[in-house]
Structure 1
Amino acid sequence: GQFQVGLTDSLTYHRTDTTSIQAIGYRSGENITIRMTSGSNSVPGFPNWGSADSNGVLSYLWQSPPGATTGSYNVTLQGSTTVKAVLDTQLFTLFPTNITIPQLVVARTALERTETQTFTFNPVYLSGVAVQSGTVTIILVEPDSTTTHYATASYSLINGMFLASYTIPLTSQAGSWAASIRAASFNDGYGNIGPLVGVTHGFSVQPAQLSILVSVQNKTYSPSDVMAIYASVHSPDGSQFTSGTVYAVLTPLNSATRIGSEVSLYYVSSQARWVGSTVVNSTDPAGVWLISVNASDTYGNKGAGSGVAVVNGSIIQPASEPLSLFYFLLVAGVVGGGLAGTLLFRRLNSTDAPFEELYAMTGGQFQPPTSLMIRGESGSGTTMLGLQLLHENLEAGKSAVILTYDSFPSELQRQMKGMGWDVQKYIDNRSLQFIDCYSALVGGETSIKDPIDFTEVSIQVSSKVGEAKGPVTVLLDSFTPIFNSAQVRHAINFLRVLAAKVKNDGGFFILTGTRGSLPEAVESNLESVVDGVIDLQIVRRGHRLIRFLTVKKVAGHQIGFVEKEFKVVQGRGIVFRIPRLDVGFLERK
C-alpha cells in the first residue's frame, strides 16, 4: 500500500485558504510533476510542475477558489529522475468557508426625503480574501420599528466593494432609520455563508425641503388683467411635487401688506407645473409685486419660492379739447410767444380722428388673404387693436375665430362690450367663436386638453374655419405664452402653419404679442411668417401715459413711416390724435 507523509501543512482547509505543499528527497533543480484530484477529477490547473531547490526540497502553494468543490482531495508528486519506493501522496479535506462583514457604511448620516442613501461594505472570507460575488438584502426600518424596506447589494467592479442604494419615499417617516444585514443572510453564490453576527448602521431622515420656481408672463399688468401664476415645485431629488397644497400670497415689494386673498394653485400634469390666477383690481397698488408661493403636504414636506410682477395703475387719458375761439386766440399768442408758447400750442393742437385713420398709415385696408402681427408693451393696446380689426370684419358680415392664450373668452367679451360693440349676436349665430387655450394654461376646464399640443389646436381651428360659409378672420391673442411654454422651433412652425391655413381659405390671420419678450433672432423669424407688422408703444410723459402706433410693414402697400398717437376710449375703441391745424409754419418760424 501507500504510505502517507506530511506533504500539506494541514489535513483540513476552508475555501480560499492557502494549502502549503512541501516534499524532500529530490535532486537539486529536478522537475517535479504535481497532481491534485478531487474524487476522480483533476482539479483545474493541474497537473502542474515545480522545481526542487538546491537542497532537493519542493515547495508549492495552492489557494482554493471560493467556488472550489468541497470534500476529499489527493495530492501526489513525481520527480522526473528520482524514483521513490513510496510515492509522495497526501489526502486533505476542503470545507465551505464563512463570510465576515466588518461594518456597514452609509454615505450620509442625515438626508431628506426623496434623496438617495448609499450603502457600502467589504465582506471577507475567513482567509481574509475579499468576497466579489453574490448578493445580500439590506433591511431598512423606519422610526416606528415596523415599517420595513429592502435594498439589494451586489459587487461593484468600479468601486471594488459591495454597493446598494435606496431612495427615501416622500411619504416615509422622519426620524432615525436603521439599516442592517442579518446574520447568515449573505451567500456568495457558492454556498459560503455569513456573516456570523449581523451588522447595523443608523441614519436620520428629515422632511423634504421643496424648491419652487415662480414665474408670471413677461408683461406689465394693468387693472382688469388676469395674472396667471406658475410654480414649478420639485423635491430634493429633482422629481416633480404633484400632490399637496400650493398657494401664492401677493404683497408690494418690501412690504408685508397683502394684496387680495391667497391664490390657490393646482397641478396641471400636461404642463408639469402648478397654475393659478388672480385679477388685478383698479384699487390694487401699482409698482413691483412680490409673489410668494408656499408648498406643503400632510407629511411635513414644505418649501417656498418667490417671483415678481410689475403692475401699472389706471391709464388716464386726457379729454379732447374743443376747438373754440380761445384756441384761435392762443395761436395768435403763440406766434409771438416764443418756445414756451409753441410747446403749449403743440399740446393743444390735436383732436380725435376715427379708427379709419389707421388705413392712411397702412396704405389702405388689409386685403385678405393676409396676415398681421401686432406687437407692443403690456398695456399698449395690442389686444384692443386686434379686437377692433376683427370687429370690423364681423360688421362686414364675415366670420371670426378668437384663439385665446392670454385671457379668458369672457374677459375679451367684456372688453368688446366696453367699447360699445355688440358681439353677443355674433356669438349666438356662431359668426364669432372662441377656442379657449388660456383656461387650460391656468388649470381650468376647456375643450383644449393641452394648449401646447399644436396638432390638437390646429384641428380645432380647421374645424371652426370649415364651419364658416366664407373667409374667416382668426385672432390669436397672444403668442407670448406659447413661446413661454413650448420650444421655439415648434412655436414658430405652429404659427407659420396656422397663418398659411387661414390664408389658404382666403382669411385674415392676426396675432398679438409682447414686443421684446423673445430673443431678437426669434422676433425676426416671426416677422417673416406674417405679411404685416404694427408696433405699439406706451411712454410716460409726466403723469400721463401715451400710446403710439407705427406701421413697420404691409405687403403690397405703400405705408407711411410715421408714429401716431392714439388712445383707447370707452364706447368707441381706438381713436387717433391728429393736428387741428398745420403747424408747419411753426417749424419754419
Structure 2
Amino acid sequence: MRIMAYQPVRRVKSGIPGFDELIEGGFPEGTTVLLTGGTGTGKTTFAAQFIYKGAEEYGEPGVFVTLEERARDLRREMASFGWDFEKYEKEGKIAIVDGVSSVVGLPSEEKFVLEDRFNVDNFLRYIYRVVKAINAKRLVIDSIPSIALRLEEERKIREVLLKLNTILLEMGVTTILTTEAPDPQHGKLSRYGIEEFIARGVIVLDLQEKNIELKRYVLIRKMRETRHSMKKYPFEIGPNGIVVYPSGEIY
C-alpha cells in the first residue's frame, strides 16, 4: 500500500501586520477570499494593502480591478499611506483596471480600462488577459455589488459569480472579492447570499460602538485548509495602513 506524503499548504502573505498569525501564516495559495463589511469598515484599504505589499515586500505581481472609483482616485487615496502604486505599475508588478471612467462617461488615460457596455464573458476574459500579462499572483475585484449593478438583470449575479469562481480557480491566483454585509450581526454576510458560498474564505470587517467610540474589528468566518479562531480581533487604519492586534489589545 502506497502512503501519500503530506504536502503542506503554501501560504500567501497578506501584507497586513498581525493578520497572518490568525490564519497559520497567510492565505492558502490560489484561494478565493470574500472580504465583507459595511460602509467605512476598510474593505478597499485591506484589499489595496494586499496588492501593494505583495509587490513591495514579496515580489508578487497583483491586479486591482476597481469598479467603485477611478484608478487615479484610488492611487491618490492610497498615497496617504505612503503607497506609491504608480511606481510598481511602471515596473509591471501592479496593474489597476479602471472599471469606472467609461461607465460614467469620462475619458481615461489608463492602460487597462473596462468597456462601458458590460458583458460578463468579456469582463472575465479581460481580467484573465491582464492577470496573464503581468503574471499576477494576486487579484482584487472591488466590488461584487458593482458588478451586479452593471448587469441588465441583477438576478444573473448568481450565474456571474459561479463563472467568476471557475475562472479564478483556473488562473490559480490568490483573490480577494469585496462585497457589502447588510447585517453581519444577524448572519447576513453578503447582499446576494451566494458570495460566501463560492468563496473558500470569508473575512468580516465590522464597526462596533464601545465607550461612545466606534471600534474596528475583524472576524475570520471561514478559511479552508486553515485552523483559525472565531474571535473578533481589533484593528486600526493608521498612517501606514491596516494593523491587526491578535492579542486583543491596541497599543
User: TM-score normalised by the shorter chain: which range applies?
Assistant: 0.7 to 0.9
1:559 Cα deviation after fit: 1.0
1:477 aligned to 2:145? no
Using the alignment, how far apart are the partners of 1:378 and 1:451 within structure 2? 27
Unaligned runs of 5+ in 2: 1-14
Q: Which residue of 2 aligns with 1:494?
A: 160
CA contact (8 A) 2:64 2:140 kept: yes
Q: 2:82 aligns with which of 407, 416, 420?
A: 420
Superposition pairs of residues 187-336 of structure 1, within 5 angstroms: none
Superposition pairs of residues 426-445 of structure 1, within 5 angstroms: 426-445=88-107
Instruction: Give the SS at the match of 1:561.
Output: coil
Q: Normalising to structure 1: TM-score of the pair?
A: 0.36
Q: Which has the higher strand share?
A: 1
1:388 Cα deviation after fit: 1.3
Q: Which has the higher helix share?
A: 2
CA contact (8 A) 1:472 1:502 kept: no
Larger mean CA deviation between 406-415 and 477-486 belongs to 477-486
The number of residue pairs the alignment matches comes to 225
Q: 1:529 aligns with which of 178, 192, 198?
A: 198
Q: 1:554 aligns with which of 217, 223, 229?
A: 223
Change (3 A) 1:451 1:370: farther
CA contact (8 A) 1:403 1:436 kept: yes
Change (3 A) 1:576 1:451: farther
Using the alignment, how far apart are the partners of 1:580 and 1:439 within structure 2? 42
Q: Which residue of 1 aligns with 2:6?
A: none
Unaligned runs of 5+ in 1: 1-353, 582-589
Instruction: Give the SS at the match of 1:537.
Output: strand
AA paired with 2:146?
Answer: P
Which gives a bigger RCO, structure 1 or 2 (Cα 8 Å, sep 6+)? Answer: 2
Q: Which residue of 2 aligns with 1:409?
A: 71
AA paired with 2:88?
Answer: Y
The structure with the larger Rg is 1
Using the alignment, how far apart are the partners of 2:214 and 2:160 within structure 1? 35
Q: Which residue of 2 aligns with 1:468?
A: 134
Using the alignment, how far apart are the partners of 1:533 and 1:516 within structure 2? 15
Q: Which residue of 1 aligns with 2:3?
A: none
Change (3 A) 1:489 1:568: same
1:400 aligned to 2:65? no
CA contact (8 A) 2:182 2:191 kept: no
Change (3 A) 1:422 1:400: same
1:374 aligned to 2:35? yes
Q: Which residue of 1 aligns with 2:173?
A: 507
AA paired with 1:385?
Answer: F
CA contact (8 A) 1:552 1:561 kept: yes
Root-mean-square deviation (CA, aligned residues, Å) is 2.5
CA contact (8 A) 2:67 2:99 kept: yes
1:542 Cα deviation after fit: 5.0
Instruction: Give the SS at the match of 2:45.
Output: helix
Using the alignment, how far apart are the partners of 2:102 and 2:201 within structure 1? 30
AA paired with 2:63?
Answer: V
1:524 Cα deviation after fit: 3.4
CA contact (8 A) 1:363 1:559 kept: yes
Using the alignment, how far apart are the partners of 1:580 and 1:516 within structure 2? 28
Instruction: Give the SS at the match of 1:524.
Output: coil
